[in-house]
Amino acid sequence: MFPFSKIFFVSLFLVTFLESADLEKPDGGFVIVRPASAPGPLDNPLKGYCLYTNAGKIHRPYSMVFQYVSWKELEPVEGRYAFEAWEKKKWSHPRANGKHVVLRIYVDYPSKSSGLPDWLRAKGVTEKDYRAHGGGKSPDYNHPQM
């Protein structure tokens, strides 16, 4: 028997079986349910969906935003973190108000100034300029201090 014949007979059997099955047929009417707003799973139906605060006007519900901060801003002096100053500055953004803020720390981000702390530069970490994707400075990630 050829493979095509097997497929034909299996298909014929399935069609016959499904046609004879007593399946409930929908009546064609639709019910639209619009639950009232409440904190919980429905306040962010796209869980994990996170917007950038600089993305322009946001037209859909959201509960999280991305905020970029350079390593230089967060740790201006080795071992001393400036979270409080950063929070006051960044979390006051209108699109971050009342939302969960996802902290995105960068050292190198195209089109942004270098995020490498000065104390790492003083320890010998070098950077290379690049022009792709808006340009920037990329540190030597293989340096032992990195």
- Nearest C-alpha neighbor of 143 from the set 129, 123, 119: 123
Burial (CB count within 10 angstroms: exposed 0-12, middle 13-18, buried 19+), residue 33? exposed
SS3 label, residue 5:
helix
- List the chain pLDDT tens, one digit each, 146 residues: 556 667 776 676 666 666 655 555 556 677 888 877 766 665 556 566 777 777 778 777 777 888 888 999 999 999 999 888 887 777 777 788 888 888 889 999 898 899 999 999 999 999 999 999 989 999 999 999 88
Rounded Cα distance, 97 and 106, in Å: 22
Cβ atoms of 78 and 125 within 8 Å: the answer is no
What is the pLDDT, as a whole number, of residue 115?
Answer: 93
State the pTM of this model: 0.59
